[in-house]
Chains A and B, each alone.
Chain A
Amino acid sequence: MSIFTKYEPLARSLAAVTNGGGRNPFSVVIDHPVSSTVGVIEGRETLLFGTNNYLGLSQSEAAIDAAIGTLRTHGVGTTGSRIANGTQGLHRQLEERIAAFFRRRHCMVFSTGYQANLGMISALAGKDDYLLLDADSHASIYDGSRLSQAQVIRFRHNDPEDLHKRLRRLDGTPGAKLIVVEGIYSMMGDVVPMAEFAAVKRETGAWLLADEAHSVGVMGEHGRGVAEACGVEDDVDFVVGTFSKSLGTVGGYCVSDQDGLDLIRLCSRPYMFTASLPPDVIAATMAALSELEQRPELRHRLMDNARRLHAGLNAIGLRTGPQASPVVSVVLDEVAQAVQFWNRLLDLGVYVNLSLPPATPDQHPLLRTSVMATHDAAQIDQAIEIFATVAREMGASH
C-alpha cells in the first residue's frame, strides 16, 4: 500500500475537475504581472479579478523603491527566528508603525497571515479555555484551534444570538472564553455584524479576537476595518491581519492593548519556530501602509468598483452574496458547471478563483471574484460582459 493511498478520493475529485480537457484550477500560472489588474496567463493578457490585492499596492512604485533600497542596505534575508537572530531594527519599526496605525499599544509581526492566526489562537487559548469560532471561519483559525488544545465550539455564521446561546451553556465553567470572528468573510464577502458581537462579548465577559485580513484598508474611515466602521474597536481585544491583501506584500500581525501580548512572543510556536520577514518585505510594507493612510481615495474607488461589479453581475442574472464588498462571489449549483464556467472565463480573458466545497459555505461551488481600487470602469464592464457571454452559453443565468 502506498503512503498516498489515502488520497485516492482526492485524486478522483481532481480528475473529475480536469476530465474533458479542463485546466487544473489549482495550478494556474500567472507568467508575470503587466500591472496590478492585468497578468499574462497562457501567453495572453488576462484581466485579474481573483487576487486579494484590493488597493493594487503589490505594484506600488513607492513600495518597490523602498524594497530595492533596503535590499542594498540590509541584504535579502534574516536567516533566523524572531526570538533569536531574526529581529532587526526594521521588525521593531514595523511593529511600531502597525500599532500606531491601529492606535494600539502593542503589535506582533508574524511571517505570514496564516501564521498570525495560528500563532495567536493557539497561544491565547490554553487547554482549559474555550474557543468560540464562527462556523465559516478560515482554515487558519480552525488550524489554530487544533494547535491550541482548547475546547472548540462553533456558532452559526454571523449569528450573535447563536453565539450568545452557546456562551450561556458555558455559564459557570472555568476557563477563558475567546470569540473569533472575521471582518469580511473571504468566500462570500459578507461583513460581520461586529457591534452585535461586541455586545455579546461585553455581556458575557468573553474575549474577542477579530481577523480583519480582508477588511483592513477596505472598511472604516481610516481603513482600520469593520471594528472601526462599526465604532467598536475598544471591544475588540485582539485584531489579527495580514500584509498580503490590501498592503500587497506578505506577513501577518496582531495588535492589542493587552500588555500580555509580549508573553505570547515566548509561547507562540508559529512565531518562534520560523524565519522572520526579510528586510525588503518590511520596507515595502511600511511604504504601502503610508500609501494606504495617505490615499483614502483608494478605498473609495475600491468600494465604487465593488458596487459596480456586484450590480453588474446581478443585472445579468447571476446569483451573488447580498452585500457589495470587494469579494463578489457568483454562486452556482453544480461543481461541473462551475468548472466549465471558470474555464470559459479564462479562455475569454478573465481570471477569477474557483472555490469548491467543502471550502465553501452551503456546499455550493463559487466563482470567487475580487475587485481592486485600480480596476477602471471599462475593465469591470468588460469582465461583466464576459461573464454574461459565458452565462448565455451555459444557460446559467437565473
Chain B
Amino acid sequence: MSETVADVSALIIQTLLANPKVPRDISGSSKIVEDLAFDSLAVMNFVMEIEDSLDVSVPLDRLADIRTIDDLANCIVSLKQGD
C-alpha cells in the first residue's frame, strides 16, 4: 500500500483533531509549533502517534526541518518510499 502526501496529510489532521485543544480550522499549511501551540515534547509525542498509524519511524533530526503538516506528510511519504 502506498499513501500519497494528501492521504498522509489528511490522516495527520484527523489525528490532531482528536485532541480538543487543537484549533478546528487547521489545514496542510498549518504550522505545527506556531499554529497549534505545541512545545517540543508535544510535537515528538504527536509524531509518535502518526508513526504508529503509518508503521514508520521518523528520526528526530528530520523533525528539525518540518514546519507544517504538509512538510511532515512529505517527510513520511519519502521515508516510506525509502523502505
Q: Which residues of A contact B (CB under 8 A)?
A: 130, 135, 145-146, 149, 151-154, 156, 166, 169-170, 357-358, 363
Q: Does B2 contact A (CB under 8 A)?
A: no
A169 touches B56 (CB 8 A): yes
Flag if B41 contacts A152 (CB, 8 Å). no
The A-contacting residues of B in range 45-78, CB under 8 angstroms, are 45, 48, 55-57, 59-61
The distance in angstroms between the C-alpha atoms of A252 and B61, with both chains bound, is: 27
Mark out the residues of chain B between 10 and 61 whose CB falls within 8 Å of any chain A CB in the assembled complex.
Answer: 39-42, 44-45, 48, 55-57, 59-61
What residues on B are CB-neighbors of A135 within 8 Å?
44-45, 48
At the interface, is chain B mostly helix, strand, loop or mixed?
helix
**Cβ-neighbour of A170 out of B42, B48, B57 (below 8 A):** B57
Pick the 9 closest A-B CB pairs, nearest first. Answer: A358-B41, A152-B60, A151-B59, A153-B57, A358-B39, A169-B57, A166-B57, A152-B59, A153-B59
In the complex, are the beta carbons of A357 and B41 less than 8 A apart?
A: yes
Give the complex CA separation of A153 and B51 in angstroms.
11
The total number of A-B Cβ pairs within 8 Å is 32
State which of B42, B45, B60 has its C-beta within 8 Å of the C-beta of A153. Answer: B60
Residues on A with C-beta less than 8 A from B42 are 358, 363
* Residue numbers in B under 8 Å from A145 (CB-CB): 60
**6 more A-B contacts (CB under 8 A) besides A135-B44, A154-B60?**
A135-B48, A149-B61, A152-B59, A169-B56, A358-B42, A363-B41
Chain A residues near B61 (CB-CB < 8 A): 146, 149, 151-152
The bracket for how many chain B residues form the interface is 10 to 19
* Min distance, Cβ B58 to any Cβ of chain A, angstroms: 8
Once the chains bind, are A169 and B39 in contact (CB under 8 Å)? Answer: no
Closest Cβ neighbor of B44 among chain A residues: A154
B36 CB → nearest A CB, Å = 14
CB A36 to nearest CB in B, in angstroms, measures: 33
Give Cα A149–Cα B39 distance, bound, in whole angstroms. 23
User: Considering only CB atoms, which chain B residue lies closest to A166 in the complex?
Assistant: B57
With both beta carbons as reference points, the residue of chain A lying nearest to B40 in the complex is identified as A358
Q: Which chain B positions have C-beta within 8 A of A130?
A: 59
- What separation, in Å, do the CA atoms of A154 and B61 have in the docked complex? 11
The answer for the CA separation of A135 and B42 in the assembled complex, in Å, is 11
In the bound complex, residues from chain B placing their C-beta under 8 Å from that of A363 are 41-42
A-B contact pairs, 8 of them (CB 8 A): A149-B61, A151-B59, A152-B59, A153-B59, A153-B60, A154-B44, A166-B57, A363-B42
Q: With the chains together, A152 CA to B41 CA distance in Å?
A: 15
The complex places the Cα of A170 from the Cα of B83 at a distance, in Å, of 9
Instruction: Give Cα A152–Cα B60 distance, bound, in whole angstroms.
Output: 5
State whether B41 touches A154 (Cβ < 8 A). no
Min CB–CB distance B65 → chain A (angstroms): 14
Q: Which residues of B contact A154 (CB under 8 A)?
A: 44, 48, 60
A171 to chain B, nearest CB (A): 10
Closest to A361 in B: B41
